[in-house]
Amino acid sequence: MANVFHQRLDELDELLVDMARRVGEAIEHASAALLAIDTEAAAAIVAADEDLNALQFRVDDRIVELMTRYEPVATDLRFILAAVRISVDLERMGDLAKHVAKSVLLRAPAPAIPDSLREDFAGMGQAAVRISEKLVRVLAERDQMEATQLGLDDDVLDALQQRVHDQIPDLGYGPQVAVDAALLARFFERFGDHAVRISHQVVYLVTGDVHLDRS
């Protein structure tokens, strides 16, 4: 019984890792589509978000099954509750990648970001991809060091968002361009925040230290 339970628990873990991988792919492709004005890729990201939502339903089903069929002890229970929250954050990260893709579709054939901000957005895309890669390892290996490193990449994302905001008053473009840039920068910044929240949940599972990001 205990073995079957832990096998099912491992599968829950794998579902979360799978979600994190897909979220990483989504933000990677969304960032590339943003820079290349690639509407085909953008449309594919929007469509793929459905698969991510379906995965979250599978996570939910697995959680209910684990809790009703077995009687998880405190440690396993802590993991299951964390899994509920982690899947919410992962689903939201997928939404944010989708928002980036939708901005591409909305403005095409024009670019959604002005030329002068291309470099900053390329940097945000790269930081978001690094964060996703680390998030997969944090979830798969419960690696605390990776959680710390992920936090540093999130700092990069925050700094780049600030850079974009600082440039907005002097961009020399219309207000629509400024708003697009500000919202897109916010999507990337929120993407990082959710990853940090997840990594704190995992660190809490490993160490018991409450270090939740509720700012």
Which parts of this chain interact with a second copy (CB under 8 A)?
53, 56-57, 60, 63-64, 67-68, 71-74, 77-78, 81, 84-85, 88, 91, 95, 165, 168-169, 171, 173-179, 182-183, 186, 210, 214-215
Q: Nearer Cβ to a second copy, position 145 or 182? A: 182
What is the b/e burial string over 73-88, where b = at least 16 CB atoms within 10 angstroms of the residue's CB?
eeebeebbebbeebbe
Q: Nearer Cβ to a second copy, position 44 or 168? A: 168
Smallest gap from Cβ 181 to a second copy, in A, equals: 8
Q: Nearer Cβ to a second copy, position 53 or 148? A: 53
Smallest gap from Cβ 96 to a second copy, in A, equals: 12
Distance CA 139, CA 13 (A): 7
| Token pair in block for residue 194 | 């959710």
Smallest gap from Cβ 188 to a second copy, in A, equals: 14
Distance CA 129, CA 188 (A): 10
- Angle ∠(88,127,151) on CA atoms, nearest 5: 65
